[in-house]
Chains A and B, each alone.
Chain A
Amino acid sequence: MTRRKPIATGSDWTFETLETFEAEIARLADEYRLDTYPNQIEVITTEQMMDAYASVGMPVGYHHWSFGKQFLAVEQAYRRGQMGLAYELVINSDPCIAYLMEENTLMMQVLVMAHACYGHNSFFKGNYLFRAWTDASSIIDYLVFARKYVAECEERYGVTAVEQLLDACHALQNYGVDRYKRPSPLSAEEEAQRQAEREEYLQAQVNTLWRTIPRSPGSEAPADAFDDEEDPLGLHGGGRYPPEPQENLLYFIEKNAPLLAPWQREIVRIVRKLAQYFYPQRQTQVMNEGWATFWHYTLMNRLFDEGLVDEGLILEFLQSHTAVVNQPGFDSPYYGGINPYALGFAMFTDIKRICEAPTAEDREWFPDMAGSDWLETLHFAMRNFKDESFIQQFLSPKVIRDLKLFTVVDDDQEEMLEVAAIHDERGYQRIREALSVQYALSVREPNIQIYSADIRGDRSLTLRHVQDRRRPLAKTVYPVIRHLHQLWGFPVKLESVEEGEIVRRYQWPLPEEEGRE
């Protein structure tokens, strides 16, 4: 390979050098078939970075005190020097927006471009969850629409009313996703266009639902009865409503809450749509960071091999990279859970190793993968998995050994914790399963669904929590159902069910003295 002259040396950067580096990275990324959205790279100041952080990565957001809280927390942490802001902030949009902070060194800028503009960007474009759940081309427009709509509502109905509604929606936003249905794409134009129509239509629907005139059995259907097509939920035919438990709490509220005004339904919808936008990110943390880290590592080394960066820069890079993929042990004072960068990077690196230089163990564990084309396999893994299934499929014994993973069982009925598996022959499979479960959203968050709405009686709403292995709900359940009660307008009950038996009941408003079970 011919070595070329370094593009720049030292730690200062200019727009010209950045552009040159960007072009070189793009060339290399293309060699590796990284398919990306166009990059919009924005150079910003520290304060702007803090603003961006505080708005959880939304370049435009509606106003809410919780973002202010976030900002104060970020600012405080930054002032104390607890947090380097520098690393990355990249938005899943088309064009893909990435931020470079002006005070970063040249190395950092190049690193962030490789990491965010080619790593994350290609992940956003390629991974199946992002493809199915988000529409990168319209998110910015939707955010603008949402901000404007919320601001209008604040003007018309008061800041407090909107704030309370948003508080309630935020409490439920993790339950605002249809996990199994492909969502309709977000589009600001359409949203704005249809929004007025929808208000009327929705209200009409809700009115229909609550028209609960009891019908005597055998009597003829009233003239305005609905045929089955218009009444697919069978709510006029008796039985429970909804007939099937609903996992998307916010959607159910938006469509069915009896007392919400149209604008309130629209805001519920906005929070729901944004929750949906972030849903893939919550499920691909390890993969996304691992993928981006793998590529910044590979691309930076290629730049060095070609002589485009000098030793000084690559050493500075290696120091920074090592810090990022550092995994403190569970007994370290710095331990804060498993570092997704470390785990993800280790796994992608190991996939490459298994393809290129498989050992006997690899051949036994990954018969299809061992010896295959590494780039092809890596792309396949990136495209078709989420953390849960990625770990289930690709966590190799070598990574388990390197990280010295072990499993502890914590049973509140036992006095001691038990080490269930360590990095040995017997443990690999079990650790792999346990870790996969640890990343499964369905296990990480309690499984809570809408079970029934008493549309004929007291209009109370009943939720069911499917309790798993006796793990109860945290105390936050009361404030959350209080928020839910605010949206629903009538009593809200929550039952924890394990193995078909109701083990605990919660309700809001709290029952009168004697009603307590």
Chain B
Amino acid sequence: MSYFIDRRANAKHKSAVNRQRFLDRYRTHIKRSVEEAVNRRSITDMERGEKVSIPSRDISEPVFQHGPGGKRSIVAPGNKEFVEGDRLRRPGGGGGGGGAGEGGASNQGEGMDEFAFSLTREEFLDFVFDGLELPHLERKQLVDLEEVRPVRAGISKDGVPARINIVRSMREAQARRIAMRAPLRRALREAKEALEAEERKDPVLRNPSRIEALKEEIERLERRLEAVPFIDTYDLRYNHLVNQPQPSNKAVMFCVMDVSGSMTQSHKDIAKRFFLLLYLFLERNYEKVELVFVRHHTAAKEVDEEEFFYSRETGGTIVSSALTLVDEIITKRYSPAQWNLYVAQASDGDNWDDDSVTCRELMMKKLMPRLQYFTYVEITPHAHQALWEEYERVAAEFPARFAMRQIVEGGDIYPVFRELFRRRAEA
């Protein structure tokens, strides 16, 4: 009468579609929550989901109900001191006891002011980067052997057993069987007819040796028919795969930061958050993202992440030193034919006056033609200096590949980031 089924191995995300429908429906609400969250929390913990609340009024599923008012009687348990006829003050707010059987239904949201739930990390990042787009997301063509993917390319006669195409093999076998057996069958039929004709003859007229010969013939044909194999090695067909070169799916991101004395730790923190956002964003668009950290004061140096963000240096600022180093690294290690190149630069805007012109020339001549995108954020509450002005000329030259914005405080990062990467209509 009873039986057990172990369903534990079955798929568990049966509700995934419904969950997605819900998130889609309340997209605007959730986005608002997510934006608040991004501004609130430090970017270093972008790697987790987020709790989101929606006013339950907005997501209620209305049904006809009794409203407050009128006359009703409520039965409740746990009477301690009341006697019939007692008069009680109305409890504040709603009408006391609640009706029958409503206890189980309270998670329907009616009683709650906020409907709270959690987004997974993936969903969270989806909302963070919703409506953003990487400019010039070109897939670089590559002949590198790594970047090939096997694709199906018809049927071949040889291959490994794992790739046998059963349908095609069986069809071949059947065709071969038909073809090989047809002449034998015909001969057999003729022999049988001849034998029958011979046996129908008057006994006197029969030719016993012919009958004997026919019988032997029939037997021989039947043996041969039998011997036609059901399947043979040359019936086998295999799915054929060829390696197709794939467009490159790799990107490298250069983080360039000024670490001269004028950059305080809070400047660096702001820069760090900006870099992290960009990194997360690139990571979603490319299979592989490499990071190169270049810091500079009067001289530039490639460093690891720890040193990049936390070691302190003093001195003046020569921005062109960093740009030159980036250019060298690109030439040496990241051929633009194979890599998608992104540069993000953060600085407080200070630079040797003479150097800014050099920067512009470096940018115009060497860097910009090879880069996918260059973002420059200037973290300063003050007026812009020479570097900004020179960069504005670069921006005018490469409007689609170069973007610059000013950040005054931490809260600006996310809006600025969104502005830099917002989906452009012309694309």
Query: Taking beta carbons and an 8 Å cutoff, which residues of A are in contact with B?
Result: 15, 18-19, 22, 26, 36, 38-45, 47-48, 50-52, 54-55, 63-77, 79, 102, 117, 159, 163, 167, 170-175, 285-286, 327-332, 335-340, 387, 403-413, 415-424, 426-427, 431, 434-435, 437-439, 444-446, 448, 465, 467-477, 479-480, 483
Contacts and interface: CB of A to CB of B under 8 A. Distances in A.
Ordered nearest first, which 9 A-B pairs have the shortest CB separation?
Answer: A329-B78, A68-B22, A471-B70, A337-B103, A68-B18, A72-B117, A470-B70, A474-B67, A39-B2
B65 A474 contact: yes
Interface in B15-40: 15, 17-25
A417 B5 CA distance: 54
Nearest to A44: B7
A410 B100 contact: no
B333 interface: no
Given A76-B117, A167-B61, A405-B76, A15 B6 contact: yes
B162 interface: no
A48 B7 CA distance: 9
B77 A446 contact: no
Contacts of B21: 63-65, 68, 159, 163
Contact of A338 (B8, B73, B95, B103): B103
Contacts of B24: 65
Interface string B388-411: 000000000000000000000000
Residue from A47, A330, A336, A405 whose CB has the most chain B CB atoms within 10 Å:
A330
Give the interface centre of A51, A75, A434 by most chain B CB atoms within 10 Å: A51
B354 interface: no
B4 A19 contact: yes
B107 A411 contact: no
A194 B87 CA distance: 61
A363 B62 CA distance: 47
Interface string B78-110: 111011111111100001111111111011010
A367 to B, nearest CB: 25
B77 A43 contact: no
A132 B99 CA distance: 27
Contacts of A421: 84
Contacts of A475: 67
Nearest to A79: B118
Residue with the highest number of chain A CB atoms closer than 10 Å, among B60, B82, B97: B97
Given A44-B8, A171-B63, A424-B84, A327 B15 contact: no
Contacts of B41: none
Contacts of B8: 43-45, 48, 102
B66 A404 contact: no
Nearest to B59: A69
A471 B64 contact: no
A68 B19 contact: yes
18 contacts: A26-B1, A40-B5, A51-B14, A71-B19, A76-B116, A336-B106, A337-B101, A338-B75, A338-B101, A406-B82, A410-B95, A418-B87, A422-B79, A445-B64, A445-B65, A470-B71, A471-B67, A474-B66
Contact of A337 (B71, B90, B102, B118): B102
A387 B1 CA distance: 30
Interface size class of B (residues with CB under 8 A): 35 or more
B89 A41 contact: no
Nearest to A49: B12
A308 to B, nearest CB: 17
B115 interface: yes
Contacts of B153: none
A347 B13 CA distance: 40
Contact of A73 (B65, B71, B107): B107
Contacts of B95: 410
A406 B101 contact: no
Contacts of B22: 65-66, 68-69, 71-72
Interface of B: 1-8, 10, 12-15, 17-25, 59-80, 82-90, 95-104, 106-107, 109, 115-118
B74 to A, nearest CB: 5
Contacts of A416: 87-90
Contacts of B15: 50-51, 54-55, 67-68, 71
B101 A339 contact: no
Contacts of B96: 330, 408, 410, 417
A75 B67 contact: no
B18 A54 contact: yes
Residue from the set B59, B69, B83 with the largest chain A CB neighbour count within 10 Å: B69
A470 B70 CA distance: 4
Contacts of B14: 48, 51-52, 55
A337 B67 contact: no
A407 B75 contact: yes
A245 to B, nearest CB: 15
Given A50-B15, A337-B98, A480 B73 contact: no
A411 B102 CA distance: 20
Contact of B75 (A43, A431, A470): A431
Nearest to B3: A40
Given A50-B15, A68-B22, A330-B97, A472 B2 contact: no
B283 to A, nearest CB: 26
Contact of B88 (A22, A337, A417): A417
Contact of B104 (A26, A340, A435, A445): A340
A338 to B, nearest CB: 6
B91 to A, nearest CB: 8
A439 B117 CA distance: 32
B5 A332 contact: no
B164 to A, nearest CB: 34
Given A330-B77, A337-B103, A480-B63, A427 B84 contact: yes
B289 to A, nearest CB: 32
Given A42-B4, A65-B18, A331-B80, 4 more contacts: A72-B19, A117-B2, A329-B78, A330-B77
A151 to B, nearest CB: 10
Contacts of A387: 101
Nearest to B88: A417
Nearest to A431: B75
Contacts of B101: 285-286, 337-338, 340, 387, 439, 444
Nearest to B11: A48
Contacts of B116: 76
A77 to B, nearest CB: 7
Given A337-B100, A410-B95, A47 B72 contact: no
Given A43-B6, A65-B21, A446 B64 contact: yes
B85 A43 contact: no
Contacts of B25: 65, 163
A336 B18 contact: no
A269 B100 CA distance: 29
Contacts of A159: 21
B346 to A, nearest CB: 38
A420 B73 contact: yes
Contacts of B12: 45, 47-48, 51
A413 B109 CA distance: 29
A338 B10 contact: no
B115 A73 contact: yes
Contacts of B3: 38-41
B72 A406 contact: no
A424 B79 CA distance: 12
A407 B73 contact: yes
B97 A337 contact: yes
B361 to A, nearest CB: 54
B212 to A, nearest CB: 64
Contacts of B82: 406, 419, 422
A148 B4 CA distance: 27
